[in-house]
Amino acid sequence: MSEPRVIGAYLAVLAAELPASIVEELAGGLAETYQSYLRQGVAPGPAAQSAVAEFGDPHVIAAEFARVNPARRGARRLLLTGPVAGACWAAVLITSRAWAWPVPLLARIGFGLVLLTVIGLLAAAALGTRYRVAARAGIAGCLGIAAIDAIAITGAMLASPSVTPVMISAMTASTVRIALSVQALRPILTR
């Protein structure tokens, strides 16, 4: 039996805003609700209308899924750990006299621009109200933070004349953030 037009239109609205796996789950529940109305003797048209009404406004459903998007949670965690990691690396730069390290100015500027871009992506994911936009920004932000932390660790190891306790604390903070990035990516990528 084919799906009533009102249910198809409802699912099309959800499909425009949510991943296919979520829409499939919702479609199954909606079909079950529709069949329940049919078993109660309700005609197909009113049964479809009742099923859709019972599920609620598709835009509200999409917004609620966006609100609990794993990308938002992961991005928030990374943004919260940012100042701690930043303070650790600032201490490394100051105590190691990083201004004397043999790092080209263009590389320093590029690193800063990448850092600002990644912070912007994480902010877009953390505050995003559209599921797909938040998920894409979250993926890019998590990958970006992991790369930045890996580059910071590697760069400090190569540029600094010695490894200090301050540097070890900064490397530890960056390693934790890399782990948080990987942990945040898993649920985002499974949707």
Q: Which tokens is 138 given?
A: 């979250």
Token representation of residue 20: 């296919």
Tell me the average pLDDT of the chain. Answer: 91
- Residue 190's pLDDT is 80
What pLDDT was estimated at residue 13? 94
Which pTM value belongs to this model?
0.80
d(CA 134, CA 140): 10
pLDDT tens-digit readout, 44-81: 999 999 999 999 999 999 999 998 999 999 999 999 99
pLDDT one-digit tens code per residue, 145-166? 999 999 999 988 888 778 889 9
pLDDT digit string, tens, across residues 180-189: 999 999 888 8
- Residue 2 in this model has a pLDDT that exceeds 70: no
Residue 169, pLDDT score = 95
DSSP annotation of 98? G
Tell me how far apart the alpha carbons of residues 72 and 9 are, in angstroms, rounded to a whole number: 28
Q: What is the pLDDT of residue 107?
A: 87
| Interval 8-40: pLDDT, tens | 999 999 999 999 989 999 999 999 999 999 999
How far apart CA 180 and CA 145 sit, in angstroms, is: 10
